[in-house]
Structure 1
């Protein structure tokens, strides 16, 4: 919304059109999220949208329109937009730290990082051609952070694959006629044995256990009958 306001102030039709389209998409996204979110998440999202999108925008608009001289409004608004854009680009740094700690790229999709980087490149070129530092400066930061994310993805994606292989298990459910059913999570090593071999092996072990349990059960019944006869 701030970049839309900036585009109106500078008569930049591309900034106005693209950010207007972005606002529409974000509104649709927020509506869909609120519609399907839980009650607590819905309340929190509504509060954040009202505080960050409505209250903050209205406050900035009023300050610029009534507190800043007309010949400095565009400059002040531009630097506000620049600072917010840099904070948006820096937001994924928390995910970067998580990737380094866990050596997993599960929470850092590559496509998102790729297109954010491409967007930063295009907007940098646009700002450079227009000689607008408020446009190309934050996108320099965005480009650097995007490259860092893609490099980390390429480096740690192999660790994620190895981790998935290490954690590959098969859950075998064995129905016990003398009690509750049991679930056996068994690590599966495809290089050593097949799924069928694992199932047969576990079934044989469980069958022996069931026979022992049944024998004990029969002995207990005979003991009870003997006591009743005596």
Structure 2
């Protein structure tokens, strides 16, 4: 097995395991019989990111990217459907789904209208991933003020860190700037977030 095949395999396995973390949320929703304590935004963002990267993967004819994002898109769509089945705020969720579909249609039309569609498709996929990866940074202010990291989703951050590291390496070996730069920045963002667990330990767990 070559180096690129090894990195691709490890990146695929870790990413799919990361995608499967949504099953625990679906299980909790089922047990509670409600989505009251949960948000649909991660699933909306997951569908957006996977769709954009899947499109970019097809443009590159990259089998690894196509496979991983096909699995990811299928799972995120399932999670969203599951969320829809249990939520009582369907009008709000309908608006979010409508916005998502409009955004994807607009992105597709803009990309296809360009003379170099591959570049724009990669750029849009890059931006969507960075926004999704940096989302927990919104909690940094609360962490600093409370001097506790209890509000940060540790499992999500450590999972994202491992995924971004492997895809950063994959981007390097296939020499794709969008994959390497996106995940390199993502890994740095996750490193900053992980450092907060050391600087500001979870007070509840410490006690």
1:51 CA displacement: 0.8
Q: Please point out which of 109, 112, 130 is paired with 1:62.
A: 109
1:2 equivalent to 2:52? Answer yes
CA RMSD of aligned residues (A): 1.6
CA contact (8 A) 1:105 1:160 kept: no
- After superposition, the C-alpha distances for 1:183-226 in whole angstroms (9 at most, x for unaligned) are xxxxxxxxxxxxxxxxxxxxxxxxxxxxxxxxxxxxxxxxxxxx
Corresponding position of 2:95: 47
Q: How many residues in Structure 1 have an aligned counterpart in Structure 2?
A: 157
Corresponding position of 2:86: 36
1:149-228 counterparts in 2 under 5 A? 149-161=193-205, 165=207
Structure ranking higher in strand proportion? 1
Corresponding position of 1:112: 156
**SS of aligned partner of 1:92:** helix
- After superposition, the C-alpha distances for 1:14-33 in whole angstroms (9 at most, x for unaligned) are 11110111111111111121
Corresponding position of 1:140: 184
TM-score by length of 1: 0.64
CA contact (8 A) 2:149 2:202 kept: no
Q: Which has the higher contact order (CA 8 A, sep 6+)?
A: 2
1:97 CA displacement: 2.1
CA contact (8 A) 2:170 2:180 kept: yes
- After superposition, the C-alpha distances for 1:91-150 in whole angstroms (9 at most, x for unaligned) are 111122222222232321222111100001000000011110011111111111111111
Corresponding position of 1:15: 65
